[in-house]
Each structure stands twice: as C-alpha cells, then as structure tokens.
Amino acid sequence: MPIVPYVPVDITVHLGRPERDARNVTVSFPDYIKNVASSEIYPTWPESAIRANIYCQISFALNRIYTEWYPSQGYDFDITSSTAFDQFFVEGRDTFENINTIVDEIFNNYLRRPGQLQPFFAQYCNGVSVTCAGLSQWGTVDLAKRGYTPYQILTYYYGDNLEIVYDAPIYRGVPSYPGTAFRLGDRGDNVILIQRRLNVVSNSYPGINKVVADGVFGEKTQEAVKKFQEIFELTPDGIVGKATWYKLGFVTANVLRLAELDSIGLSFSGESQQFKRELSLGNAGNDVRVMQYFLNTVSEFVQEVQPAPLKGVFDQETQNSLISFQRFKGLPQTGVLTLPVFESLYNEYVGIILTIPRSYGGFDAAPYPGFILRLGMTGREIEALNTYLLQISTVFPEIPKLIPDDVFDTYTRAAVIAFQNLFGLNPDGIVGPETWNKITEIYTDIVASNLRRAEQAPGVSLMMDEQEEII
C-alpha cells in the first residue's frame, strides 16, 4: 500500500457541535462533499471558483480523517455539521447537478504542502459576513471572473507552496485501536508503538519513565502506562485498552507542534509563559515575538483573529491582530498587551495546542547548504536550522527552545552552543558542515518514527523498518 493518506469510502457526521447530544449519520465520502458544497457555495458560480472551494472542502475533511481528531478525543464520529468547528452539512438536502459532476471527478484529490503527508488544513470563510486569513469563498468568484484557474485561486490565498494530490487511494477506514488490550507479557509492533508514544509523552511529562522500544510489554512499560493513566485520569491498571490507546495517541500528537506553523513543542520555555511587561505600538524584543507567535497560532484556527508578522516589532499589523483577538474574547479593544490579555492569549494558545490535530510532514533534513551559518544571517536555511534545534530541544532540555523564524539571532546562537557542548563539538556558535550534519542527524533520529501507513487509521505511526514490508 502507498504511504499516503487515503480517501475513506464513508464518513460519519455528527449533526451538531461535538459536545452536544445529536445523531450521527454515515454517508459516502463523495455524497458528503456534494452536500457540503451545495450547502456552502452556489452552483451559478464560475466553475473555477466551484472547483477551488471543493478542493478546500475535500482537504479539510481528509485532514480531520487523517488526524483522527474526533475519535482520538473519544467521539464516535469523523466530523461535525457545525460551522463553528467544521463544514456545513444538511442531512437529506438536495444537491446541484453541476456540483455533483465536479465532485465525482475530483473527490479523491486533495491539497497538501510539498514534503508533507497530511492533507492541508484548508481554512476558509465566506469572505462577506466573516473574514479570515484563509480562502474567501466569495473572493474566489471575483478571481475566477478575472480568469484565475482553480490552482491559481488556491495559491492566491494559501501561497505558492501548495500542491494538489491527484487520485488518492480509496479504502474503507478501520479504527486505529487494534481491538484487543495490551498488557504485561504481550509482544509485537503495537507494543513498540505504545513504547515510542510513551517516550514522546515523557518529554513533556517527566514523571513518566522512558522505556526501551523493544516490543516487549515488561514491568517498566507497565509502570510507564500506569503513570500515564494517573496523569490523564484513566484507570491506572497498566493495561492499554481502547481509552488509554486513544488518549496516548492524542497526547503524543499534541506534544508536537503543527508543521504548518513550523514549530514543535507545547511552548518555547517556562520564560515564555511569564508576562514581562506591558506591550504596545512601537515596542520590540523577544517578548513581542512570543506574543506574535501566540497570535499567529490562534489565527490559524480562529477565523476572527488576524495573523501577526513574526518579526519582534509591535507594528500596526500586530496591533490590528491583537485588537481582533481582544474583540474575539470580549476584552476591551485597546491594542495593548496587559497581563489579563496575555493570560487570555496564552490560555487560548494552549487550548488550541491541546486540541488541534497533529500535522505530519516530511522528516528528511536538508543537506548542508554549502556555507557557514552565523549570527546576523537570515533566510530559509536559518529557518530550517531553528526548526531542527526546536525539535531536538523537546528531547534534550539543555538546548533552549526557539521560535523557528528565519533569523540567526542571539537565541539561535545560544541553542547552537548548547548543542555543540552537548555533542562534543567546538562551542563557537557557528554552524559549519560538522555542526550542521550532527544537528540534522539527531533531528532525523528523533522524528523518524512519525510516519504512518496509508491503510492505518490516523494516529498510528509507521516504524521505519516497516516501510519495505508495506510497499
């Protein structure tokens, strides 16, 4: 089977908000997309606009499927009909013939970022009553009338680093839980998966002991499972049943940051969680960058919040973003970051991190760029370096956590020096070929277990040594 996301035969829709008591309905995936498209857009729109919107709707739904967002939280459905969370679905509604024809043609095509596995989380809004940082549905009409192709419309809103995956495989989904509990004495690949997930979670919850991922459910694995269950208020019996399996998968996914935001980890550091000073227009510094990062994270999932430029300067665009957040939270719209606003922003950020689906990307690190990286430099190579170091810091806390921007600043230099000291390299804070290759080696080792089988339900990792068997 190919190691790519798949299109399910059916999708189960919850007819309401996720937490509310409502019926679930199961329909074919193409019928679901036809319903959503007919509910959200007009059949009289130009075909390019219709296609662009349908690509977004498909990709959004497949992201929910791929990340197993709702099942991993204990729900028995794939997606909701609530537009506050997902897409508009109306049970039993009639659909439009031209929309049906387009969906039948492209229902197993979806969007993704180059180098990533997961379908793109295609944020969009109608663009009239509600605006957001993603695609504007009514805006697609204007672009189509100006001659834009569907792909050009999509890149207009999401950037050029976007690709369409054609003819994805179609499988009938199988729940990721294997159906049997795992306990002391069990062996096999699923035990390896449990052990690896426990080790990932232990990076954020040091009370959980690390275990050897040898596929043997021994006493140390049992002890780690019990501690995990205690922390997350599950029955501490040391047995990985359905509830523990899903909770472990969900927490594992959420201790890692979204690749879409080019970061990994729940927070940068304990220091970043502290309010240092009141911030307003004209301020600059790392605390401004942290605020901008939080705002950007929230803006990815809250359409009412505008994104902010990640450059450490409190400019007009940053103020507009902060005001939009204050408006969203019902706070005084001052455009000033006070302690109550900071606490509200940070809590919103953490809440998102603990509920968003994991974004899976490529794990291969880039080769040495051919020149030395040092303090004061900028560029994509620096952004990659910061991202690698941030990932490494989740396992090696001696390395300070970074904001993965494209600037080699004093924070990057400090992280490089810490890395060099840790791995016996010359601690000069300069990244030459020796340091770069060691950083990418450690980075690759850390993330190498984050792939998945296409035929596996989302949330099940693929061990590297399994790839040849699957293919």
8 A C-beta contact, residue 54 and residue 45: no
CATH number of the domain at 310, please.
1.10.101.10
Domain contains 457: no
Q: Which residue has the tokens 């959420």?
A: 254
Neighbours of 20 (CB within 10 A): 10
pLDDT digits (tens, 9 = 90+) for 214-272: 889 999 999 999 999 988 778 899 999 877 887 787 676 555 433 233 332 333 333 44
Name the residue range of residue 293's domain.
271-353
Report the C-alpha gap between 25 and 71 in whole angstroms: 15
Domain contains 110: yes
Alpha-carbon distances of 332 from 133, 317, 325, 373, 397, rounded to whole Å? 23, 18, 10, 44, 38
pLDDT, position 350: 60
Same domain, 331 and 422: no
Domain contains 371: no
Cβ-Cβ contacts under 8 Å for 160 (sequence gap 6 or more): none
pLDDT, position 107: 92
Tally of structural domains, the chain: 4
Same domain, 69 and 118: yes
pLDDT, position 311: 74
Cβ-Cβ contacts under 8 Å for 312 (sequence gap 6 or more): 284, 285, 286, 288, 289, 292
Sort strands 163-165 and 110-112 into parallel, antiparallel or unpaired.
antiparallel
Same domain, 139 and 233: no
Least confident of 49-58, 136-145, 249-258: 249-258
Partnered with residue 27 across adjacent β-strands are 11
Same domain, 165 and 190: no
Task: Indicate the pLDDT class of residue 363, thresholds 50, 70 and 90.
Answer: very low
Q: What is the mean pLDDT of residues 310-318?
A: 87
8 A C-beta contact, residue 110 and residue 164: yes
**Residue 445 vs residue 159, higher pLDDT:** 159
Same domain, 59 and 127: yes
Which residue, of 249, 266, 283, is where some domain finishes?
266
Same domain, 249 and 279: no
Task: Indicate the pLDDT class of residue 300, thresholds 50, 70 and 90.
Answer: low
**Residue 291 vs residue 176, higher pLDDT:** 291
Same domain, 102 and 180: no
Same domain, 155 and 194: no
Domain contains 140: yes
Domain contains 119: yes
**Residue 172 vs residue 374, higher pLDDT:** 374
Task: Indicate the pLDDT class of residue 34, thresholds 50, 70 and 90.
Answer: very high
Which residue, of 171, 194, 215, is where some domain finishes?
171
Closest CA to 429 of 439, 446, 416, 442: 416
Cβ-Cβ contacts under 8 Å for 233 (sequence gap 6 or more): none
CATH number of the domain at 394, please.
1.10.101
Domain contains 197: yes
Same domain, 301 and 321: yes
pLDDT, position 250: 66
Domain contains 468: no
Partnered with residue 116 across adjacent β-strands are 361
8 A C-beta contact, residue 16 and residue 25: no
pLDDT, position 189: 81
**Residue 467 vs residue 429, higher pLDDT:** 429
Same domain, 289 and 423: no
Same domain, 190 and 225: yes
**Residue 37 vs residue 113, higher pLDDT:** 37
Domain contains 423: yes
pLDDT digits (tens, 9 = 90+) for 12-24: 999 988 888 899 9
Average pLDDT, the chain: 79
**Residue 392 vs residue 97, higher pLDDT:** 97
Q: What is the mean pLDDT of residues 407-430?
A: 92
Report the C-alpha gap between 337 and 271 in whole angstroms: 17
Which residue, of 248, 266, 284, is where some domain finishes?
266
Same domain, 284 and 403: no
Report the C-alpha gap between 139 and 132 in whole angstroms: 12
